[in-house]
Amino acid sequence: MKSLILKIVRIIRKEDIKLGNFSGRDLIRILFWRIICLIRGFFLFNILSLRKGIFFVGSGTNIKGREKIIFNSSTTIGSRVKISAIGSKRFEFGKNFSIRDLTIIDAFGSIKKDSGQLFVGNNVGISENCYFAIRGNLTIGNDVIFGPGVKVFTENHSMEINELPFRLQEEIRSNVVIGNNVWIGAGAFILPGVIIGDNAVIAAGSVVNRSVESGTIVGGVPAKFLKSLK
Indicate which residues carry an active-site annotation: 157
Tell which residue, 171, 70, 35, has the closest CA to residue 115.
171
Output DSSP code: residue 212: B
Pairing label, strands 155-157, 171-173? antiparallel
Torsion 216-220-224-225 (CA) sign: negative
Number of continuous H segments (helices) and E segments (strands) in the chain: 2, 24
Q: Distance between CA 204 and CA 93 in Å, rounded?
A: 25
Helix (H, G, I), strand (E, B) or coil at 226: strand
User: Residues of 192-226 as b/e, b for ≥16 C-beta within 10 angstroms?
Assistant: bbbebbbbbbbbebbbbeeebeeebbbbeeebeee
Q: What is the CA radius of gyration of the chain?
A: 19
